[in-house]
Amino acid sequence: MLTIQLIINALAVGSIYAVTALSFEIAYESTGVVNFSTGQLVTAGALVGASVTAIGPHLAPVAYLAVIVAMAALGLLFFVGAYLPLRNRPVLTVIIGTVAVGILVQNVSLLIWGPLPIAVASPVGNATIRLAGLVVPTHALFVILVTMVLILAVYFLLYRSPLGTQFRALAQDPETARLIGVPVMRLYALTWMLACALAGIAGLLLAPMWFVDVGLGDSLALKAFAAAIIGGFGSIPGAIIGGIAVGLAEVLGASYISSSYKDAIVFALMILFLLFRPQGLFGERVADRA
Amino acid sequence: MVEAPLLQVDALSRRFGGLQAVDKVSFAVPAGRIVALIGPNGAGKSTIVNLLSGVLKPSAGRIVLAGRETGGLPAHAVARLGMVRTFQNGRLMPRLSVLENVLLGADGVCGYGFADALLRTPRLRRQETQLRGQAMALLDELGLAGDAAREVGGMAYGKQRKLEIARALMQAPSLLLLDEPAAGLNSAEADELGRFVMGLRTRGLGILLIEHNMGVVMRLADRIVVVNFGVKIAEGTPDEVRADDAVLEAYLGRKAAHAAV
């Protein structure tokens, strides 16, 4: 029984890693840029959500919509302010640009929200429900549900819509995509909006589990990075499975091995993958990428 | 002057630093006609195609498509106005399916927004169904319908060339730029492609054909424009061009040309 309870918690935490890793992947697939500001974007999302829920706890559901809108707007700003000016530079320059964006976002967050941790209510409250002898936090179930909805939405967007075909074409060969009339710049803008919105939602999902402060997303982004590597960088299903795997390793490792080594367990797993299966679980062969 | 041709190219020039790659080249492509652009390697054919399709900006001269100046517009804008190209070295998306590759052509020209795509509005669904039907019809015509769901990556080269034309046609062109469509095809495949291109001509498309395979050019072209060293050296019907001294000289060299005459 305890194991099942732990697994549900692990799935909830893993879901948050999966959503964050999804944010990584979408930016990486379409632009080739590893977004090092993901952690700070997660924090920004959590803080925006915290401000909305602070008005009144009944606004918690509205907070999700507000975070999507605010983070998409921030994504557009990211595109115009950082990606657009740097996009013709070597990709390393753009990556360092994302580090700068991260620092900027973190410090602006600090100016607006201050250094004190904020408690954020979940739209489903912080109750637990009993299910066949299991005690499960409602928020954990909510997190899993929201993640499934997000994954389905991303799946339909990428694999079942014309826009998705364009996205995947852009990921494979941006030059050809441009030449055959795919609106490349618009897709890059949408990419950053989507990546930021996903990161923001991950932050808001995490917020009721932890207290929110400006460092909230930093460690989360590292775990999501590990998830992306374990799942296979450049693979959307990999991000999801990788996220869940990291959640399981962390929660089960903490209860059965040692809670002080839970981070070490995750990163040891990542290092094992880098050593013995660098393409991850679902990674593509390097030759497939033009 | 009867009526303005579909595509009118006037004194088109392009300079790369000190090199005059294309020098005051003029020609026209009427609707429902196939005009071939030929010339030895390095004559400037590819530069001309790149200028027409918006990959390069002209240094001077005019490109007018159906009354609209397109010179200097970006590639996607040129495609939207109806001048669509295929690529010499086959630019398909290897990890998308055949059908997706063809639909990608249409995506560039049809108008739906991000919100449509996310919410799957009825408008988008209707458009999608219609475009899929159109794409399947095209694939059927090219004998590729059976491969619609396959990934392009492992397909035979001949099929990939045809697929590229299908994609270009999905962009609803009025003028098609075919950049060496028969390159790498065997003669049976080249014949089949030729018949298909002739079929497009009867639909009223204007076609500018860049091709090395002289058999294909002589059979298909209504008119041939010959360039060498960036300059137009001859223009006429296939028979006229075949008999032209300057053309023989460009292709065979001065001595051989004299010997042939």
**Residue B77 identity (one-letter amino acid):** A
Chain B: nearest CA to A152, how far in angstroms? 11
Q: Which of B80, B92, B93 sits opposite A181 (nearest CB)?
A: B80
Check B55 against A179: CB less than 8 A apart. Answer: yes
CA A148 to chain centroid: 13
Q: What would the two tokens of residue B2 be? A: 């009867």
Overall average pLDDT of the B15-23 stretch:
89
The answer, yes or no, to whether residue B170 has pLDDT greater than 60, is: yes
Overall average pLDDT of the B193-218 stretch:
89
Check B105 against A181: CB less than 8 A apart. Answer: yes
- H/E stretch holding B232 reads strand B231-236
Let me know if residue B5 belongs to a domain. Answer: no
Chain A: nearest CA to B5, how far in angstroms? 24
Query: What is the rounded CA–CA span in Å between residue A205 and residue A250?
Result: 18
A154 vs A60, more confident: A154
What is the reported pTM?
Answer: 0.81
Let me know if residue B183 belongs to a domain. Answer: yes
Q: What would the two tokens of residue B69 be? A: 């100046």
Work out how many domains chain B is built from and give that number.
1
The answer, yes or no, to whether residue B251 has pLDDT greater than 90, is: no
A101 vs A129, more confident: A101
A264 vs B110, more confident: A264
Nearest Cα residue to B206 out of B5, B55, B58: B5
DSSP β-bridge partners for residue B68: B65
User: What is the band of A76 on the pLDDT scale with cuts at 50, 70, 90?
Assistant: very high
The answer, yes or no, to whether residue B80 has pLDDT greater than 50, is: yes
User: Considering only CB atoms, which chain B residues are within 8 Å of A152?
Assistant: none
Q: Which pLDDT belongs to residue B255?
A: 60
A101 vs B118, more confident: A101
Q: What DSSP string describes A103-120? A: HHHHHHHHHHH-SS-B--
For each of the domains in chain A, give its residue range(s) and CATH number, in order of start.
Answer: 2-288 (1.10.3470)
The answer, yes or no, to whether residue B3 has pLDDT greater than 70, is: no
Supply the range of the domain harboring residue B86.
21-90+157-260
Backbone angles phi, psi at B12, to 5 degrees: -70, 130
Are the C-beta atoms of A242 and A228 separated by less than 8 Å? yes
CATH of the domain at B67: 3.40.50.300
Let me know if residue B132 belongs to a domain. Answer: no
The answer, yes or no, to whether residue A206 has pLDDT greater than 90, is: yes
**Rounded to whole angstroms, what are the CA distances from A56 to A59, A125, B168?**
6, 13, 55
The answer, yes or no, to whether residue A143 has pLDDT greater than 90, is: yes
pLDDT, mean over chain A = 89
Query: What is the rounded CA–CA span in Å between residue B261 and residue B256?
Result: 9
Are the C-beta atoms of A199 and A43 separated by less than 8 Å? no
Overall average pLDDT of the B42-57 stretch:
90
Are the C-beta atoms of B48 and B20 separated by less than 8 Å? no
Chain A: nearest CA to B112, how far in angstroms? 9
Let me know if residue B73 belongs to a domain. Answer: yes
Nearest Cα residue to A231 out of A284, A287, A162, A275: A284
Overall average pLDDT of the B28-32 stretch:
93
Check A165 against B117: CB less than 8 A apart. Answer: no
Let me know if residue B120 belongs to a domain. Answer: no
Let me know if residue B114 belongs to a domain. Answer: no
The answer, yes or no, to whether residue A254 has pLDDT greater than 50, is: yes
Let me know if residue B41 belongs to a domain. Answer: yes
SS (H, E, C) B15-65: EECCEEEEEEEEEEECCCCEEEEECCCCCCHHHHHHHHCCCCCCCEEEEEE
The answer, yes or no, to whether residue B1 has pLDDT greater than 50, is: no
pLDDT, mean over chain B = 85
Check B87 against A183: CB less than 8 A apart. Answer: no
Chain A: nearest CA to B89, how far in angstroms? 11
Query: A182: Cβ–Cβ under 8 A, 6 or more apart, which residues?
Result: A166, A169, A170, B76, B104, B107, B108
Q: Which pLDDT belongs to residue A289?
A: 45
Nearest Cα residue to B108 out of B180, B49, B37, B54: B54
Which residue numbers of A have CB closer than 8 Å to B's CBs? 153, 156-157, 161-166, 168-169, 172-173, 176-184, 190, 288
Put simply, whether B254 touches A (Cβ < 8 Å) is no
Overall average pLDDT of the A133-150 stretch:
91
User: Considering only CB atoms, which chain B residues are within 8 Å of A180?
Assistant: 79, 91, 104-105, 108, 167, 171
Let me know if residue B186 belongs to a domain. Answer: yes
User: What is the band of B115 on the pLDDT scale with cuts at 50, 70, 90?
Assistant: low
The answer, yes or no, to whether residue A148 has pLDDT greater than 90, is: yes
Q: Which pLDDT belongs to residue A287?
A: 41
The answer, yes or no, to whether residue B109 has pLDDT greater than 80, is: no
The answer, yes or no, to whether residue A105 has pLDDT greater than 90, is: yes
User: Considering only CB atoms, which chain B residues are within 8 Å of A182?
Assistant: 76, 104, 107-108
Residue in B closest to A168 by C-alpha: B96
Query: What is the rounded CA–CA span in Å between residue A190 and residue B77?
Result: 20
Check A172 against B95: CB less than 8 A apart. Answer: yes
User: What is the band of B7 on the pLDDT scale with cuts at 50, 70, 90?
Assistant: very high
User: What is the band of B254 on the pLDDT scale with cuts at 50, 70, 90?
Assistant: low
Q: Which pLDDT belongs to residue A290?
A: 38
Which B-chain residues 137-176 have CB contacts (< 8 A) with chain A?
167, 171
A60 vs A273, more confident: A273
Chain B: nearest CA to A15, how far in angstroms? 22
